[in-house]
Amino acid sequence: MISRLRAASGFTLIEILVVIFIISIVSGVVLISISPNRNKELETFTKDLTELMVFAEEQALLKPDILMMSFQNRYFTFLRYQAPKDEETNNTWIAVDSKILGKHYIPDFIQVRLNIRDAADEEDADKHQIIISSNGDVTPFTIYIGARGEKPRYAIMGEADGSITYKLLQ
């Protein structure tokens, strides 16, 4: 009779506390793994942008085309140079109609700042475009990437000879 009462009495307080403790640990691990990691997203964005620029260089060499990477407020895009057909037509830049080199939006939390190096004056340094020539040369530049409102975390550097690299800033 006593053993039947004891079996029907339920869980002890210690057993319930152990279960709650295990559930809290598991849910904490899940929340940490699901929550966005801004540093990883910045690194991924920087790597992707670097690879995209190298791809654009390769496309300019293979076509051959002159490409321009243009930065706007919340996106960047690639444009292709179209020479005038006659003397009356102006030089024009046409948006590249491609999934890879089309318009790319910059995530809201990421801040991108382009600095054109070796610019003749301050006005040239503020231009938001990089020219990629058909022989692989690029406008010397540095793109600073970081979280909005914070100092840049990464820099992508392009040299006149066409080399494009990125590094983590201290």
Both 75 and 159 in one domain: the answer is yes
Both 161 and 101 in one domain: the answer is yes
Global pTM reads: 0.72
How sure is the predictor about 72, in pLDDT bands with cuts at 50, 70 and 90? Answer: confident
Both 65 and 26 in one domain: the answer is no
Alpha helices in the chain (DSSP H): 2-8, 13-34, 38-62, 122-125
pLDDT tens digit sequence for 105-148:
999 899 999 988 765 555 554 466 889 988 888 989 999 999 98
Both 79 and 135 in one domain: the answer is yes
Q: Domain of 16?
A: 2-34
- pLDDT for the residue numbered 126: 46
CATH (domain of 50): 3.55.40.10
Structural domain count, the chain: 2
How sure is the predictor about 25, in pLDDT bands with cuts at 50, 70 and 90? Answer: very high
